[in-house]
Amino acid sequence: MIDWKTHSLINYFHNKNSEVVLKLINNETKEIEYKKEEYSHYFFIESKDVEQTQIALKDFIFVQDNNNEMFHLQFDFRNEGKYTKVVTFFEGTPYLYSVIKEIIKHLDAHNIKHYECDLLPGDNLILSEDTQISNTYRILYYDIETKDTQGGVEIGRDRILSICAVDNQGKEYKFSYDNEKETLTDFMKIVENYDMLISWNGKKFDSPYLKARLKVNNILFSFKSIIEIDEMLVFMASFAVKVRSGQKFLTSYSLSNVAKNFINDDKLKLDDDSEGYGGKLWKLFNENRQKLIAYNLQDCRLLKRLDEEFHLIENEIELAKLVKAPLSKTRSLTSMIDFLIIREARKRNTHMISKMFKDEVSKQYAGGYVLDAVPGLYEKVHIFDFASLYPSIVRTFNLSFDTLLDTNFSGDCIVTPNNIKYSKTLGIVPAVMNELTELRLKYKNEQQELKDSGDSHKALLKEFQQTAVKVLILGLYGITGAPHSRLFNLSVAETTTLAGQALIKSVIQQLDSNGFKVVMSDTDSVAFQILDDSRLEEAKLLIKIAINKIVKDSNTSFTNYLRMEHEKILSKFIVLAKKKYVGLVIAE
């Protein structure tokens, strides 16, 4: 067991000895420590299915694809009440993920329901403990330059000419030798001393290219303990960046364009304004290597400056701490939500269905309601929007895979607008949404306090934190409707969208019947005329009445989180067709 009061997690990986290797930092000494834990793969089945599962898994043999090596798998069944824990044992070193996929495929073929079988041992280890994520990392910002005489980019085709790097303490490294192997060898020696490698567009270029050239030069290096982050992707996703810059999109997210737009800096120029293809880099390598190195090193400095200016990695660390998973997991919304949901399920002594590897036919369900357009020019149009419509529906009506009731249920329950019944016991999905929503509100309040006190640095961090939580909340709903998600349930997904339809239709009907001309509606908004300004409060009351009626009719016992907010007023509003309109805003 790890003492999470004295140690924090940087990353974890699996070795060939059926061990989970945890890369930890000692919170007091700041020294890096590695701890190995023997941890077998396991999954859960319902206890009523034990005999069937024992028969199905008897004499189970896994054959590894790359060499046809055979492994005899053994399974230990441990009763835990409603569920039975099934632990997998084998001798040798098969590729564990392939073993897991075969077990899932085999259980599916025998129609055995299984839970959390897709989780790797390391995932289970940190999910079973109160894992604390590190605040401190040794970060290396790096960039590579490659031979460019052939034109275009083909991963691993041409030799690497130069590798430069800057760490988060400002120390700079330059490697550019006649012999590529020497360049790579010396660079990898310093990589060993860092926890995180940061690049720009590295997911598509620098990282796969570097690994390809290491292979060509027969240099062995394990990246398992290293967290690799593509700063371009983090930058693009960072709401804090969008707000700070006042821009939502750029025509190009090249490092040059971003640096010019956001930190008033740029890459070094070569002979012209291009970024270095057509043989210029190869010429510099042979004739002016110091200029090539300066060009290469400037990119690394830009990476560090952008990170520090917008707190990109700092924000990622906060997100990882929230989810209680290493930064290697935070670039995947699905992974983050998995960790949140599975933790909540285990608090309730229940387990989540395994994530499937097989292809599934896409399941279609009803979407949002959009009013048929009546083209024309309208004056004094007010737009009202639901605040977080679908998450609010989930919380208000307690929609979750574990609260869905049989259609024949006759007890006290919630009945949604599409006549689907749900339990009044708080479900796993709305419970996590409630927790995240409370956290987001806390961050928003702290952000405002910091703004008021003039601490813009910490306010910006809180801004990202609360928005990152919002992304998790919306993602949690979205994944509920994704067929490949472990949370997917067609009835729950459709209930959510149909409840949204019912709410919008109820608001439209209430407004129309009281003399307000509705000219447009979308999934979560309505636009209607208020020709007499004194009727605005009346319109707000009518909207509230319409929403409350839907909620009351459902017999829910949970708080009504559904709110429509007055977003803007338009002096002129032109409707061209469904979802096609333009207006002149006069108030927001």
Q: How confident is the model at residue 367 (pLDDT cuts 50, 70, 90)?
A: low
User: Can you give the pLDDT at residue 361?
Assistant: 44
Distance separating alpha carbons of residues 162 and 184, to the nearest angstrom: 9
User: Average model confidence (pLDDT) for the chain?
Assistant: 90
Q: How far, in Å, are 131, 163, 339, 347, 379 from residue 423 at the CA level?
A: 32, 59, 24, 19, 46
Q: What is the pLDDT of residues 96-106, one digit of tens each?
A: 889 999 999 99
Model confidence pLDDT, tens digit, residues 307-350: 998 888 988 898 899 899 999 988 788 889 999 999 999 999 99
Res 359: pLDDT:
47
| pLDDT of the residue at 276 | 46
Q: What is the pLDDT of residue 310?
A: 86
Give me the pLDDT at residue 583, please: 64
Res 550: pLDDT: 96
- How deeply is 271 buried, as exposed, middle or buried, from its count of CB atoms within 10 A (0-12, 13-18, 19+)? exposed
CA dihedral of 284, 289, 295, 296, whole degrees rounded to 10:
110
With 90 as the cut, is the pLDDT of residue 488 above it? Answer: no
- Read off the pLDDT band of 277 (50, 70, 90): low
Confidence of residue 233 (pLDDT cuts 50, 70, 90): very high
Any idea which residue has 């999905």 for tokens? 429
Average pLDDT over residues 225-246: 80
pLDDT tens-digit profile of 8-48? Answer: 999 999 987 778 999 999 999 999 999 998 888 999 999 99
Q: What is the pLDDT of residue 182?
A: 98
Closest CA to 15 of 42, 31, 34: 34
Q: Percentage of residues in the chain with pLDDT exceeding 90?
A: 69
pLDDT at 283 over 60: yes
Distance CA 281, CA 148 (A): 6
pLDDT at 542: 97
Give the pLDDT band (50/70/90) at residue 242.
low
Under a CB-based contact definition with an 8 Å cutoff, are residues 389 and 500 in contact?
yes
Pairing of strands 83-89, 196-199: unpaired
pLDDT of residue 370: 61
pLDDT of residue 566: 93
Average pLDDT over every residue of 352-368: 65
Q: Would you state the pLDDT for residue 467? A: 79
Q: Given this model, what pLDDT does residue 28 score?
A: 94
What would the pLDDT profile of 46-69 be if each residue is shown by its tens digit? Answer: 999 999 999 999 999 999 887 889
Q: Tell me the per-residue pLDDT of 475-487, one tens digit each, with 9 for 90 and over.
A: 888 888 787 788 8
Total Cβ atoms within 10 A of residue 311: 21
Confidence of residue 374 (pLDDT cuts 50, 70, 90): confident
Q: What is the mean pLDDT of the segment spanning 380-409?
A: 94
Instruction: Answer yes or no: are the C-beta atoms of 237 and 470 closer than 8 Å.
Output: no
Q: How buried is residue 60: exposed, middle or buried, by Cβ count under 10 Å (0-12/13-18/19+)?
A: middle
Task: Find the angle CA(286)-CA(288)-CA(291) to the nearest 5 degrees.
Answer: 130
The confidence score (pLDDT) of residue 91 equals: 87
- Do you know the residue count of the chain? 588
pLDDT above 90 for 411:
yes
